[in-house]
Amino acid sequence: MFGAKNKGSERIHKLAGKSALTVKIVIAAIVLLALGGSSYYSIQEEEQAVVCTFGSPKAVTTPGLHFKIPLIQSVTKVNTTIQGFNIGYHADGEEEDALMITSDYNFIFVDFYAEYRVTDPVKALYASEDPETILKNIAQNCIRTTIGSYSVDSVLTTGKNEIQSNIKQMILDKLEEYDIGIQLVNITIQDATPPNEEVENAFKEVETAKQGKETALNNANKYRNEQIPNAEAESDKILQDAEAQKQERINEANGQVARFNSMYQEYIKYPEVTKKRMFYEAMENVLPDLKVIIESQDGSTSTILPLDSFVTGENTAQSGDEEADGEEEE
């Protein structure tokens, strides 16, 4: 009987030993699976990772599957897409951050929207506790400084683009100084309104008038651009006509000079003949339609018309006889 008890206890011990070994194997397998599963991590296109090994961080920027040492390395993923936040207004309707004062001591509500992205994931995680809050504080400071240097009219109407550009540059300079691993992409004015409705309506009327002014200027510039080519073409035509008249007169003058020289050469050869010919030609030019009546001593008259009748004398007698007959009939 005693021997049977010893055999039973040995069997129990064996079963207990096998059970403990099985449990150890299962635990070891679970640990290995857990370690194996934590040995890999993946990075998407829109993110980067920071792998920290014994407190030393290192950025991993390549998308895909990566290996890490379990229990030694830790991985923190950082979103690198463009993110944004509002400045000046909140979901609950509070606008305390939007109330600002301009250079001409007017109050105005201005709402902004800022966009940023992470450029250095290590600095974004370890250079500051909350880089977005730091960026928001920097932006608010730059916005108030810039708005305070412009008049209310510029903020509401014509100066928005310049104001946005100046604010953006100020924020970029401060972020470069702080070096917290994020970069401003853009900052825009969403809305700018006066503190009361009456002033707001007045500024809307001013904006409408300025838009009308710009429209009138654009139309005037369009008309000017349309008329300038026509005026230039007309000017070119006038210049060409003047140049043609100039050349024509030069040619005419040269012709007259040549004619005079030719006549002078003839005059040298035959002075008396040339004088008479010049006289007759002058008379023909000066008195082409002149009617010459000559009255003789006996009271008879004779008409010389045209001038060449004075030379031939034939038409003169006829004209004189006809006129005499006419007078006798009268």
pLDDT by position in tens, the chain (length 330) = 444 445 556 655 555 555 666 666 656 555 555 544 457 778 888 888 888 888 788 888 888 787 777 777 788 888 889 999 998 765 455 556 788 888 888 888 899 999 999 999 999 888 888 999 999 999 999 999 999 999 888 888 788 899 999 999 999 999 999 999 999 999 999 888 876 666 667 767 777 887 888 889 999 999 888 888 888 888 899 999 999 999 999 999 998 888 888 888 878 888 888 788 888 887 777 766 666 666 677 766 655 555 444 444 444 444 444 454 444 444
Q: How far apart are CA 156 and CA 315, in angstroms?
A: 98
Q: 128 in helix, strand or coil?
A: coil
Neighbours of 278 (CB within 10 A): 13
Chain mean position to CA 147 = 25
Q: Show the tokens assigned to 79.
A: 């979103």
Helix (H) or strand (E) run with residue 49 in it? strand 47-53
Q: 166 in helix, strand or coil?
A: helix
Q: How far apart are CA 21 and CA 118, in angstroms?
A: 51
* Unique residue bearing structure tokens 């403990």: 20
Q: Show the tokens assigned to 207.
A: 């904006």
In this prediction, residue 316 carries a pLDDT of 45
Q: Find, among 111, 119, 97, the residue nearest to 175 by Cα.
A: 119
In this prediction, residue 319 carries a pLDDT of 47
In this prediction, residue 269 carries a pLDDT of 82
In this prediction, residue 212 carries a pLDDT of 87
CB distance 107 to 196 below 8 Å: no
E-strand ranges in the chain read 40-43, 47-53, 56-60, 64-67, 73-79, 83-87, 99-101, 107-118, 182-193, 292-295, 301-304
Cα–Cα–Cα angle for 248, 254, 259, rounded to 5 degrees = 125
Output b/e per residue, 37-73; b: 16+ Cβ within 10 A: eeeeeebeeebbbbbbeeeeeebbeeeeeeebeeeeb
CB distance 51 to 60 below 8 Å: yes
Sign of dihedral through CA atoms 111, 117, 120, 126?
positive
pTM reported for the whole predicted model: 0.51
In this prediction, residue 259 carries a pLDDT of 84
Q: Phi/psi of residue 78, each to 5°?
A: -125, 130
Sign of dihedral through CA atoms 309, 314, 319, 321?
positive
Q: Show the tokens assigned to 36.
A: 């194996």
Q: Find, among 127, 123, 122, 96, the residue nearest to 109 by Cα.
A: 96
In this prediction, residue 27 carries a pLDDT of 65
* Unique residue bearing structure tokens 């009219």: 153
Q: Show the tokens assigned to 29.
A: 């397998």
Instruction: For the chain, report the end-to-end CA distance as a whole number of angstroms.
Output: 200
Q: How far apart are CA 58 and CA 123, in angstroms?
A: 10
Residue 127: Cβ-neighbour burial (10 angstroms; 0-12, 13-18, 19+): middle
